[in-house]
Amino acid sequence: MKIGYVGTGIMGGAMAGRLLAVGHTLFLYNRTSAKCQALAAQGGMVCESPADVAERSEVVFINVPDTPDVAKVLFDSDGIIDGAEPGLVVIDNSTISPAATRRFAGRLKEMDADYLDAPVSGGDVGARQGTLAIMVGGELAVFERCMPLLKVLGARVELVGPVGAGQTCKAINQLFCAIHMLACCEGIALAKKAALDPAVMVDIVSSGAGGSWALKNLGPKIIAGDMAPGFMIDLLSKDLRYTMELASEGGQPLLGTSLVQQLFQEARQSGLGRQGTQALCRVVDSLAKNLVQGLD
């Protein structure tokens, strides 16, 4: 198929690369065009605008940081809407507001274009390996038509409801990611304090009931002092804002999520926003140092 991909950062670049590798013709756009060059070297075609991408494509994927970014890609001058022909499908892999997603889909429907919100989970590792979990909102017929593409990107692809449901599910997913990350940081910190080899602890706990994706994949990075981002603190903090908005709309208190949201905000204020989410360990370590100093 003729596929467009707008947003070729850490996640989008890897996902677009998988689509290219299985033989699809790929049209690319990224605000920083240099981020398209690796894919261009593999045969992808770099376009001048999202409109240019849409004009050449049957399906356009979007993977950008936040709701306003998706709005710009879709509706600004030279946005997708300016190049869209009837029958175009837009698949948004970004993590954004569920309410805004429904509005976006409505505007595209007026042009006879279809929209799937399809946020993903599994980090940069899952993006490279094609093992992402993809939670999709949209119409069944559109979902089934796009399933061959989505299966290139994910090991688990599920239609969870109508448009907006994918983003709702992703907001809940980020609740788990954040709380698991805090548990991972605290568990490793406690192992060190208790003179237990943290690598041994991570290995054995990962294979039991206390295991998680965060512990298995990011625990070793914490131990090694590797804070390079697979997924940045800035982005998870943004996602948690949508989780808390969803909770507020439904009248559901989220005590653990509220706490971990505050800790990630503290990490951002400490200059860690561009680091991987595992850099939350720096905040946990800082809290321990402050406690010791207070006792002294």
Active site residues: 170
Residue 6 in 3-state DSSP? strand
Q: 46 has which bridge partners?
A: 28
Query: Which of 117, 57, 62 is CA-nearest to residue 87?
Result: 57
C-alpha to C-alpha distance for 107 and 113, rounded to whole angstroms: 9
User: Between the CA atoms of 203, 207, 211 and 215, what dihedral angle is there, to the nearest 10 degrees?
Assistant: 30
The residue assigned the tokens 């991972």 is 184
CA triple 143-18-7, angle to 5 deg: 80
Distances (CA, A) of 104 to 27, 99, 130, 172: 22, 9, 27, 21
Q: Which residues pair with 59 in a beta bridge?
A: 3, 89
